[in-house]
Chain A
């Protein structure tokens, strides 16, 4: 499902027009991005958590040339599904 399909499906459920849905979705994404950039964790009940994790700096050694490189630390977005969602998904596949 791509972005457009998602908007179509959403607009059908929320009885909003597609443009309205798109605007709302964009606003949601921008709010989420802002909050994540501030280092906050966003939790959606029964779906999962979005959080920022720090990848520590590390030393990588090129296997062929033996050149050692210090990889700087970085921040990444991590998503962890809620246990409710996990159960739901696995129930379905088990059936």
Chain B
């Protein structure tokens, strides 16, 4: 880039050539032009020239300064200055050599923020799923502690029979722990498991589920009835809540893991919650001798009342459970009838129903929440590792490899051509150059170094993939960008 200076004379020469007038006339014209501008500026007006820019008179205020040699303060008097603002078109033409450059957000900061948002996302996705797990492990710990306390307490004045029960309790505690671990494992195993399940089983499942729930409910009710006579006021709502939560979570992982097996194993499966509830409600039994000695009659009366309330409690929960189940079932039937979903989506669907069912069993605030939410957006509430079922068409579109069959134009690479610039021309955003590259992979070796003269085709890309406002689409394009640019 030469830094030559062109004088008025040289410019006049060029102008005379261009406009087909004599050199003299061109020279005169230029002088006239600038004297006119000058006059106008002196009159305090601004002058605007199309495609060139605007001249303005700008008053610079007097300001204080320091004489460098003496250190004295001096005042620089104010003055007028001609300010020239180039026209947008001129700016662009002049900046052409650097036009392809873009502001770059520097890595250090960016990755940090990106990670942050990413982890937030995953937290959002995993949150509801992790929460019960965390609560569950916490509760398991609590229960274990409780059991240890009870053991030490009961050791003083207990019969051998109770001791035997203690062992059972310990076992149950261990079981709980093991289950906690299992849930963690099965959580990570979710997707593979889904993949393994094949059609006949998934079709079979919904019916057995009904039975299982029935069984579980019945068992629970009988269990409660069995236990409640022994119950003192000791069973606070807290402990019953603990128990319920466990049931809810325990049934969840076991069902998940045993999905692949025969469905009738589930009936054995449903035995687990009662054992656990046994263990948790054992504590009142421990109290039994104390109370029995003195308060036999009082206890009987109280337990009767508690029995009545618990039964109503459970039965009401049963109603809500049945209610949701019915809706879910209907939902499913509709989906069965449609039979348009892919097998994968199908299994997931069944899966989520499974989870929601097990959750509904617990007559907690959760269950009511479930009951409200499950009918329409099942997986969001259950929060599978990925919001699979909810995945709208755009996600499917993004995950599918793109096939380019239609083309909207061709472009010959000239010196200075950039895929990003071409993308900007055709798609409006430079980030979508990846699709042009994908469509021309066999012609382009290196997207940063395309030989001049290469003829590339501009593919017709799904309009949804060119939606610059959709953050998913943009992140996909950037992801591809990273792949293609980092590839070499």
Q: Once the chains bind, are B80 and A79 in contact (CB under 8 Å)?
A: no
User: For B301, what are the chain A residues with a Cβ–Cβ distance below 8 Å?
Assistant: none
Within 8 A of A (CB), among B86-114: 86, 90-91, 93-98, 101-106, 108-110, 113
Q: Once the chains bind, are A24 and B19 in contact (CB under 8 Å)?
A: yes
Q: Which of A30, A43, A67 contacts B105 (CB 8 A)?
A: A67
Contact pattern, B 1-19, Cβ under 8 Å of A = 1, otherwise 0: 1111111100100110011
User: For A85, what are the chain B residues with a Cβ–Cβ distance below 8 Å?
Assistant: 38, 82
User: For A72, what are the chain B residues with a Cβ–Cβ distance below 8 Å?
Assistant: 98, 101-104
User: For B79, what are the chain A residues with a Cβ–Cβ distance below 8 Å?
Assistant: 86, 89-90
User: For A90, what are the chain B residues with a Cβ–Cβ distance below 8 Å?
Assistant: 79-80
Q: In the docked arrangement, what's the CA distance between A85 and B86, Å?
A: 19
Q: Does B488 contact A (CB under 8 A)?
A: no
User: For B96, what are the chain A residues with a Cβ–Cβ distance below 8 Å?
Assistant: 37
User: For A23, what are the chain B residues with a Cβ–Cβ distance below 8 Å?
Assistant: 19
Q: Does B32 contact A (CB under 8 A)?
A: yes
Least Cβ–Cβ distance between A19 and chain B, in angstroms: 13
User: For B97, what are the chain A residues with a Cβ–Cβ distance below 8 Å?
Assistant: 75
User: For B101, what are the chain A residues with a Cβ–Cβ distance below 8 Å?
Assistant: 72-74
Q: Does A64 contact B (CB under 8 A)?
A: no
Q: Does B487 contact A (CB under 8 A)?
A: no
- The stretch from B47-55, B158-166, B346-354, B460-468 touching chain A is B47-55
Answer whether A33 and B18 are a contact pair too, CB < 8 Å, given A6-B40, A25-B33. Answer: no
Least Cβ–Cβ distance between A22 and chain B, in angstroms: 9
Least Cβ–Cβ distance between B110 and chain A, in angstroms: 7
Q: In the docked arrangement, what's the CA distance between A32 and B2, Å?
A: 15
Q: Once the chains bind, are A77 and B94 in contact (CB under 8 Å)?
A: yes
User: For A66, what are the chain B residues with a Cβ–Cβ distance below 8 Å?
Assistant: 109
Within 8 A of A (CB), among B31-60: 32-34, 36-38, 40-42, 45-53, 55, 57, 59
Answer whether A1 and B57 are a contact pair too, CB < 8 Å, given A14-B32, A86-B79. Answer: no
Q: Once the chains bind, are B34 and A44 in contact (CB under 8 Å)?
A: yes
Q: Does B21 contact A (CB under 8 A)?
A: yes
User: For A92, what are the chain B residues with a Cβ–Cβ distance below 8 Å?
Assistant: 42
User: For A2, what are the chain B residues with a Cβ–Cβ distance below 8 Å?
Assistant: 48
Answer whether A68 and B109 are a contact pair too, CB < 8 Å, given A24-B21, A75-B95. Answer: yes
Q: Once the chains bind, are B8 and A43 in contact (CB under 8 Å)?
A: yes
Chain B residue, CB-CB nearest to A61 = B109
Chain B residue, CB-CB nearest to A27 = B19
Least Cβ–Cβ distance between B90 and chain A, in angstroms: 6
Within 8 A of A (CB), among B412-436: none
Q: Which of A65, A75, A89 contacts B42 (CB 8 A)?
A: A89
Q: Once the chains bind, are B105 and A69 in contact (CB under 8 Å)?
A: yes
Q: Once the chains bind, are A43 and B6 in contact (CB under 8 Å)?
A: yes
Answer whether A35 and B11 are a contact pair too, CB < 8 Å, given A24-B29, A48-B82, A68-B106. Answer: yes
User: For A39, what are the chain B residues with a Cβ–Cβ distance below 8 Å?
Assistant: 1-3
Chain A residue, CB-CB nearest to B19 = A27
User: For B29, what are the chain A residues with a Cβ–Cβ distance below 8 Å?
Assistant: 14, 24, 28
User: For B98, what are the chain A residues with a Cβ–Cβ distance below 8 Å?
Assistant: 72-75
Q: What class of interface size applies to chain B in its complex with A?
A: 35 or more
Chain B residue, CB-CB nearest to A2 = B48
User: For A69, what are the chain B residues with a Cβ–Cβ distance below 8 Å?
Assistant: 103-106
Least Cβ–Cβ distance between A71 and chain B, in angstroms: 5
Least Cβ–Cβ distance between A55 and chain B, in angstroms: 9
Q: Does B444 contact A (CB under 8 A)?
A: no
Within 8 A of B (CB), among A18-74: 23-33, 35-45, 47-50, 52, 59, 65-74
User: For A68, what are the chain B residues with a Cβ–Cβ distance below 8 Å?
Assistant: 105-106, 108-109
Answer whether A10 and B82 are a contact pair too, CB < 8 Å, given A33-B90, A89-B42. Answer: no
User: For A47, what are the chain B residues with a Cβ–Cβ distance below 8 Å?
Assistant: 34, 37-38
Least Cβ–Cβ distance between B360 and chain A, in angstroms: 44
Q: In the docked arrangement, what's the CA distance between A81 and B48, Å?
A: 16
Q: In the docked arrangement, what's the CA distance between A61 and B93, Å?
A: 28
Q: Once the chains bind, are B103 and A41 in contact (CB under 8 Å)?
A: no
Q: Does B167 contact A (CB under 8 A)?
A: no
Q: Once the chains bind, are A31 and B95 in contact (CB under 8 Å)?
A: no
Q: In the docked arrangement, what's the CA distance between A79 and B113, Å?
A: 41
Q: Does B28 contact A (CB under 8 A)?
A: yes
Q: Once the chains bind, are B14 and A31 in contact (CB under 8 Å)?
A: yes
Q: Once the chains bind, are B46 and A1 in contact (CB under 8 Å)?
A: yes
Least Cβ–Cβ distance between A33 and chain B, in angstroms: 6
Answer whether A44 and B8 are a contact pair too, CB < 8 Å, given A29-B51, A39-B2, A76-B95. Answer: yes
Q: List 27 A-B contacts (CB under 8 A).
A: A1-B46, A1-B48, A6-B48, A10-B36, A26-B51, A27-B18, A28-B29, A31-B11, A33-B94, A35-B11, A37-B96, A42-B5, A42-B6, A43-B7, A43-B8, A47-B34, A48-B82, A50-B84, A72-B104, A75-B94, A77-B90, A78-B84, A85-B82, A86-B81, A88-B42, A90-B79, A92-B42
Top 9 closest pairs, chain A to chain B, by CB: A72-B101, A79-B84, A39-B1, A27-B19, A77-B86, A89-B80, A68-B106, A81-B82, A70-B104
- Since A3-B49, A9-B40, A93-B59 are in contact, a sample of 8 more A-B pairs with Cβ atoms closer than 8 Å, ordered by chain A residue number, is A3-B48, A6-B47, A24-B29, A37-B94, A67-B113, A70-B105, A78-B84, A79-B55
Q: What residues of chain A have their CB less than 8 Å away from a CB belonging to chain B? A: 1-3, 6, 9-10, 13-14, 23-33, 35-45, 47-50, 52, 59, 65-79, 81, 85-86, 88-90, 92-93
